[in-house]
Every structure is written in C-alpha cells, then in structure tokens.
Structure 1
Amino acid sequence: MKKTPTLARKWFRPTGRILVMLSFAIPVHAELSTPTPSGSSGPGAEMGQTVTDAQRDMAFNILTTSMAILRDDQPFDPAHTIFGRILAARPERGAVGVMEYSFVNPVLPETQIIVYVVPDPAAPSADRTKVKQVVTAITVRFNPLLTDISRSTLEDLLRVDIGYWIDGQGNRWPGNDLGTAPPQVRLHGYRYRASNLPTSRFPVNVEFAFGDPAPNNPAPDEPKTPVLMDVLLNRDYSALNPHHREQNPS
C-alpha cells in the first residue's frame, strides 16, 4: 500500500525552563488537528493560498520584532505590539507567574503567534511572584505557508551564525541542517544560534521548519520549492546555574 506523503508541523511548548517538543504528521490534504485563530483549512489549503507582498512583509516584521524582544533590545507590551490583538492569555497551571499569550494578526489572521512569558530566570529571588516577567520563547506557525522565502533570506534577516547550533543545555553542535523526518513526512528542520551583537543582552536559539516539496510529481496546487512553516525563537538561559546565582545576588 502506497503511503500518503505528509507534512509534519512541529513546535516547542516551553514548560518552565524545559522545552518539550511536540510533533505530529499531517496528510497533505487533511484537516489540522490543532485549532488556529480563524479555523485553518489544513496544509493542503495553506499551500493553495497565494501569499501577498503585504503578508510577506508582515511576516518579516513579526520575526525581526520577535528577535529584538528575545535579545532584550526591545520591550514586550502585549497590548501594543505588531503581533496583533491578544487572542488569549493563558496562565500555566501549577506555575507561578507563567503566561502564554496568543495573538491574531490582521494581515496574517490564521497564523499562530505564541509568546511565552515567565518570571525572570536570572532573578535570584525565591518569591517568584515578585520577579519581573520576561519573554523566553516565541513561536510563529504560518498560515498560509510562506512561499518564495529562502533559508538564506531568513539567516540574513535574523542575523544568525552559520555552521553550528546550541542545544538547551548549552552544548554546541556542528552544522545547521537537521535533515528531514522519515520520507513520508516532509518536514525539514534547521537550527542556529543568533549572532552575538554588542547591543544585545541575551543569546537566542533559532529553529526553522520548512515543508519540502513532494519528491515526485507534486500536485498542481503544491509548491515546487520549500515553504516556510514554523519559526521558533528561544532565549537561552543555559549559562545560569546555582553558582551563577550565588555570584549575582539581588
């Protein structure tokens, strides 16, 4: 029996200081099992939609703003942000001061924009209710999937280093191309470390998820080149440890 080619969408849900990867495979013309702000029609429909110049420009603005927030070059004000209108603000059950914001953008109304806010991990106070909240992760899941945006364009836009990436424990790994999932799942991942800028306070880890085109005879409504599906940006606190907090008392 011939397997149906699929695209896999994956994203990270940060829980405390741990990133738990969630992934699922979606048949190309199936419905999405995860709700979107406006009720997505699924990857097949996403691919068939035309991406306008205004949508592409907004996507770039969302990503550059996200990077600036995570570098701590720009403040985050959920009530006034290019991300759009607050769709939901969900406190994390059992976690003090942890909040997940989701936004609906007027130019990309079906794109999921998730901002994860926690009490500042760098603050030594044991009373987390008195600690300033900071953004630690931003995930953008594009709908429609973005065509005609190359990986090199994103590398330049977000100013990332080429040739290595850093994991959640601070370990350095060579390369950026994570390869594809099994052949029937056409998800292609890439990981990076944002370049160290003198104006930025925090390092940022970056992940792109592209949907590769069908290897043989793609359907007429499917793109012939990779499409951008998801971008994950994560502020790296891996350098923090008990010794670091002892050396940096409040």
Structure 2
Amino acid sequence: MANEVTDNQRAALMDFLREAMLVLRDDKPLDVNNPAFGKNHEETKTVFSAFGEVYQFENGLMPEADISLRTADDPLDYSDDRSRVRIVPFAFELTFYVAVRGISPSELKRELDLADYWVSSDGSRSKDNDMGPPLAETPGQHRYRFRANTHSDSRFPVDVELTYFEPGSDAPVGTQPSLWLVRIARAYPLLTPEMRKQRREEERFKKREKYGYMNLCTGGVCPESGYWEGWTKESGPTDILSVEKGQKFDLVRTVPLTTARSSCPMVPGQWMWLCSLEEARGFQWMGLTLNG
C-alpha cells in the first residue's frame, strides 16, 4: 500500500535532494545540522570504511523514511596511511517505510538535472535510464539509473538510482508506480591499496618531472610544501630536506647523508621533488626511512 505524497512533503523531499546534490556534485561544505536534511539523531561507524561515519536523520516534513548520509576517507587521496586522510561525503540514501506515490522518475530527472544515460563501473555509457522490467527475485521493483549532468561549478561525477514499486495486477487502471528508494552517490573510482600505491608513484614521477624542468636551485622559491632531494653536479643526490611552499631553497650538502663524515661543505645545487609531507611517513630514500 502506497501513500500519496502531499504538497508539503514533495517540497521537503525536493529540498533535501537538491541539497544532497549540492554537497555531492558541487562539493558544498557538509553541514549535518542543515535543516533540509532534518534532525541528525544518530551517528555510527560505516562498514565500508574504517574511518567514515553513517549519519541518520529524522525529517518530520518528509514522508517517513530511513534517511542516511555515508562518509568515507577520501578515495582521491592516495596516501597509504588512511587515518591521516580527510573524511568526505560519499552517498545520501532515502528508503521510505511506506512507498510514496505521486513523484515520477521524469520529475526527479528534471528537478535534479539528470542525464539521459548512466555510467557503469567500467566507465562505459548506457543510453537507457530504465533498467527494464522487474526481475523474478524482486517482483514489483523497477529501477532507474542516471548520471547527473555537470554544471559549471561541479566537482564530482554523481550517480542517482531510483527504485519504484509497480502497481499490482489488481490495482485500478492508471495507478502510478510508487517511489521506494533514492540513492545519490559520488562516482569515485574503486581503488585497492596496491592501486593507490601505483597512483602515488605515478603522481610522484609526474611532479618530479614537472619540477625538474623548472630547474629549481639554491635561492629559488619552493612551489609546493614537501620533501625535496638536493643534487650537486659533482656528487648527484646527496641531501633531503622538508621545505615549505614559499621558502627559498637552501644550499646542498656535498656529502651524502648516508655517508659517515666529520665535515660537510655546502654548495649551491638543484632541488628535485621527492614526496609530499603526507606521504613522508615510512618513505624510503637512499637507505633512510622518513618518520613524517
């Protein structure tokens, strides 16, 4: 049995969904006390991330539903130590206790500015939002998938999934399907620890190549905070130093840090990118392990 949505419930539901899109697609700062979401009444750890949370909301203006927001450690941060990665919003989900009638897929597509296609996990694009008739194991359920259109200020690709219940065979002619679930999620890539390691190495190489072309030498201004490797023409890589963005690069040691020495002359030299401050813990360089 479905409930017909009222005008006030429709307005509250659309406010919630638009605000969720602003947070997930346009990276609007998340405020869990935003009245559009309702009252934040519970916070638990998510099973999908060791560091994310699940926030549960109650919204008396909307049809009764399980309303949740899931956060996670930033998938676009490739750091190995996930405890030091910022937490980002991942997905909003509404599951109505009693499905609501009166809100069609085409209305939600228009209100949320959704595209005429959806994107699968392998990146391929499908032009049909309608996922077809109900499956035998889920009779009555009808699903739709969308990729949200990007705006000028959009920061993330977003997927939207809608689940409806089709009216039963004994329902009056013209009975509309009833909305049961709305899920809005950022389309983050799925990365294993091994894949993150590969991405970190790729980014280091690109930065090292980029800054290498700039020929950053003693007296020059550091373009990015991180650990930098000092080079001399005579000895090659001999030094390592944490340098803040905007600081001037120092002289370079002429005797490697890994070599026993009683004195160490300093000379002008070149500085090459090594790693970010966040990546420093456990980083290996010339037989040394950084503590971060």
TM-score (normalizing by structure 1):
0.71
Residue of structure 2 equivalent to 1:178? 131
Deviations 1:17-51 (A, max 9, x none): xxxxxxxxxxxxxxxxxxxxxxxxxxx3xx1x342
Matched residue SS, 2:76? coil
Residues 79-158 of structure 1 mapped to structure 2, 5 A cutoff: 79-92=33-46, 95-108=49-62, 110-158=64-112
Matched residue SS, 1:118? strand
Q: Give yes or no for contact 2:72–2:89 (8 Å, CA) kept in 1.
A: yes
User: Which one of the candidate residues 161, 164, 170 is aligned to 1:217?
Assistant: 170
Q: Give yes or no for contact 1:103–1:112 (8 Å, CA) kept in 2.
A: yes
How far apart are residue 88 of structure 1 and its match? 1.6
- Amino acid of the structure 2 residue aligned with 1:167: S
Q: Give yes or no for contact 1:83–1:105 (8 Å, CA) kept in 2.
A: yes
Residue of structure 2 equivalent to 1:35? none
1:172, 1:55 → 2: CA distance?
34
Residue of structure 1 equivalent to 2:120? 167
How far apart are residue 94 of structure 1 and its match? 8.6
Deviations 1:197-235 (A, max 9, x none): 221010001111111112x3217xx98111111111110
**Cα 1:50–1:165 shift into 2, 3 Å:** closer
Q: Give yes or no for contact 1:147–1:223 (8 Å, CA) kept in 2.
A: no
Gaps of 5+ in 1: 1-43
Aligned length: 200
Matched residue SS, 1:115? strand
Which of these two proteins has the greater Rg computed from alpha carbons?
2
**Cα 1:201–1:70 shift into 2, 3 Å:** same
Q: Give yes or no for contact 1:55–1:108 (8 Å, CA) kept in 2.
A: yes
2:48, 2:140 → 1: CA distance?
36
How far apart are residue 99 of structure 1 and its match? 1.0
How far apart are residue 81 of structure 1 and its match? 4.2
1:141, 1:94 → 2: CA distance?
19
Matched residue SS, 1:179? coil
2:26, 2:80 → 1: CA distance?
23
1:206 aligned to 2:160? yes
1:81, 1:210 → 2: CA distance?
26
**Cα 1:246–1:61 shift into 2, 3 Å:** farther
Gaps of 5+ in 2: 205-275, 277-292
- Amino acid of the structure 2 residue aligned with 1:188: H
How far apart are residue 246 of structure 1 and its match? 3.9
1:177, 1:93 → 2: CA distance?
30
Structure 1 stretch 135-144 or stretch 87-96: which is displaced more?
87-96
Q: Give yes or no for contact 1:139–1:230 (8 Å, CA) kept in 2.
A: yes
How far apart are residue 248 of structure 1 and its match? 4.3
**Cα 1:107–1:123 shift into 2, 3 Å:** same
RMSD over aligned CA atoms reads 2.5
Matched residue SS, 2:131? strand
1:187 aligned to 2:141? yes
